[in-house]
Each structure stands twice: as structure tokens, then as C-alpha cells.
Amino acid sequence: MVDSVRRKLGTRRVGHAGTLDPLATGLLVVAVGPATRFLQYLPLEPKEYVAQITFGKATSTYDLEGEVTQESTVPENLLDAIQETLLAFTGLISQLPPMYSAVKIDGKPLYHYARQGKSIEREPRNVHIEAFDIKVLSSDTVEARIVCSGGTYVRSLAHDLGQAMGCGALLSGLHRTRVGRFSVEEGILVGDATPADLVPLREALLPMPLVPMNEVQVHHVREGRQVGLMEIPAANIVALLDTNGEVFSVARVQGNLLQPECVIPSEAFHAVS
């Protein structure tokens, strides 16, 4: 996808804010040009998905691509069976990353070991499941609306739910509908993307406070120097605006001082103008 955006917009500097599984569809947040420096500051949580979960079968990858590892009878009243188990999969839960994932162990992603038939010891992670709403589609498949923290593996949710119910389950479809304040309805198909569709940083970083700088302050920030203000927003970090009203830095609040953490050099503006 990054390569497609590069070709479409004619620039090499493109980054993304979190991948999707190969079979998944939906929203991918992409930054272009100097904005790639600010991906870490974007409001990217919670994430929202619409998932199809099929019961009665489990696989090595927890989705349709893997080898079948379990086949069992699906409960006759699927919705009731799910509801009896679902409480353990909402709120703050512990989740073990799947072997077929990009989590790195000793510098290599887990899928590297999985493809060699190896199983590596993994550390569980705490993730937060804000919503796990179920709608039955058929006798063995449900559609789930899932709102969760970053780092959550929906494949693992499906697999673990099936294991808890005793019949096995796998992820048979996944569509990401929201990443933080960005929704799929606002998204653009990569084939239709133009420079005019890019969201300015001063909009993308909201609700981060925006603090205007004068010419001298802009110069100091670009040199990595702290700047002081009489009034500073009650926040840990703020976005700094240059004299044209464009974001050129993110700074950390230290008392009545602002310490630049990320700065777009002046030549970067010239390069994209």
C-alpha cells in the first residue's frame, strides 16, 4: 500500500500508522512527506473493526489461511453460548500474540519462526476491549463489532473465544472501520488519491493543542532550543505553528517551557512547496 501511495503521489517519503492482515480490508492511515515524522503523535486509538468469526474450526494462523488444527460441533444456540463466554473478552484482558504475527523476537518476526514450524515462547500483552457486539449471521458464523486498543489481535480474539467455548473458531473476515479519530468513511481509495486529499497536520493532530510561534521562536525551535511562554495549554505535548499557521514541530511541556521533540526543518517545506 505504501508503494502504491508513493507511485500515485510521486514521492518516496510515505509511512503508515499500523498494518492490516493480508486478508483484511478497510482503513489504513498513511502519512506523506514531512508528516511521516509525526505518525507517533497522531490520535490512533481506539481502533474499530467489523469481524466475521466462524465457529467449529480452528487453524494455525487463527484465520482462513492456516492449516486446520481442530474441528468440533458448533453449539446449537450459538448466540447464547457466546454470551456466556464473552464477559471474559471485554475490558482489560491478557492476550498472547499469535505465532503468525509481526511481533519480533530476537530481531525476527514471529511468522518467520512459524513458517519454519517453530513455536516461540511469547509474553502476553494487556489490551483493552471496549466493545464486543455480536450479531448472528448463520448457524456457525457471527459478525462482531469490536472496539479495542492498539496492539490487539482480532484473530487472537476469535481463536481464544472459540477455545473458551470448546468448539474452536477462526477469523473469516475483517474490515477496519476506524483508527482513533479517522474513519473509513473519510478515507480515499488509493487509486483515487491526489495531493488535495491529504489532511493538513494541524487537523490530523487534533485534539492536540496548537500553539502559534513568532519568527524568533520558530528559529529557536528549529535549532532545538526551548522556548518560554506566559501561558501554556494544560497538556503534555503541543503542536507548534509557524508564522504561516502550519505545524512545524511537536514540543513537550516542561513547566512554562516548550522542549521541541520533533521538528520539520525549513528546507523540508521548500522541498514540498
pLDDT digits (tens, 9 = 90+) for 241-262: 999 999 999 999 999 999 999 9
Confidence class of residue 104 from pLDDT cuts 50, 70 and 90? confident
pLDDT at site 268: 58
Residue 41 counted as domain residue: no
Residues 206 and 155 in one domain: no
Among residues of the chain, what percentage have pLDDT more than 90?
Answer: 80
Residue 11 counted as domain residue: no
What is the sign of the dihedral through the CA atoms of 28, 31, 37 and 38? negative
Residue 23 counted as domain residue: no
Residue 190 counted as domain residue: no
Confidence class of residue 86 from pLDDT cuts 50, 70 and 90? very high
Output the furthest CA–CA distance in the chain (Å, rounded). 71
Residues 160 and 227 in one domain: no
Backbone phi and psi for residue 51, each to the nearest 5 degrees, phi listed first: -120, 145
Residues 172 and 73 in one domain: yes
State how far the Cα of 238 lies from the Cα of 268, in Å rounded to an integer.
Answer: 20
Residue 15 counted as domain residue: no
**What amino acid occupies position 138?**
S
Residues 171 and 210 in one domain: no
Confidence class of residue 113 from pLDDT cuts 50, 70 and 90? confident
Predicted confidence (pLDDT) at residue 34 exceeds the cutoff of 60: yes
Residues 53 and 174 in one domain: yes
242 among known catalytic residues: no
Residues 68 and 163 in one domain: yes
The pLDDT of 176-189, averaged and rounded, is 95
The pLDDT of 225-240, averaged and rounded, is 92
User: Which residues, including other chains, have CB under 8 Å from residue 203's CB and lie 6 or more apart?
Assistant: none
Check 3, 21, 160, 242 and give the catalytic one. Answer: 21
What is the CATH classification number for the domain harbouring 76? 3.30.2350.10
Give the residue with greater pLDDT, 122 vs 75.
Answer: 75
pLDDT at site 100: 77
pLDDT at site 68: 96
Residue 120 counted as domain residue: yes
Residue 156 counted as domain residue: yes
pLDDT at site 272: 35
Give the residue with greater pLDDT, 44 vs 19.
Answer: 44
Q: pLDDT tens digits for 50-69?
A: 999 999 999 999 999 999 99
Confidence class of residue 269 from pLDDT cuts 50, 70 and 90? very low
pTM to 2 decimal places: 0.89
Residues 160 and 238 in one domain: no
Domain count, the chain: 2
Residue 21 counted as domain residue: no
User: Which residues, including other chains, have CB under 8 Å from residue 248's CB and lie 6 or more apart?
Assistant: 218, 221, 222, 240, 241, 242, 263, 264, 269
The pLDDT of 105-125, averaged and rounded, is 81
Residues 228 and 142 in one domain: no
pLDDT at site 19: 83
Confidence class of residue 22 from pLDDT cuts 50, 70 and 90? confident
Predicted confidence (pLDDT) at residue 101 exceeds the cutoff of 80: no
Residues 66 and 172 in one domain: yes
What is the sign of the dihedral through the CA atoms of 186, 191, 197 and 199? positive
Confidence class of residue 273 from pLDDT cuts 50, 70 and 90? very low
pLDDT at site 267: 61
**What amino acid occupies position 143?**
E
Confidence class of residue 271 from pLDDT cuts 50, 70 and 90? very low
The pLDDT of 120-140, averaged and rounded, is 93
* Range(s) of the domain holding residue 133: 47-179
pLDDT at site 257: 95
Residues 83 and 138 in one domain: yes
What is the CATH classification number for the domain harbouring 225? 2.30.130.10
Supply the angle between the helices 154-165 and 78-86 in degrees, to the nearest 10.
Answer: 110
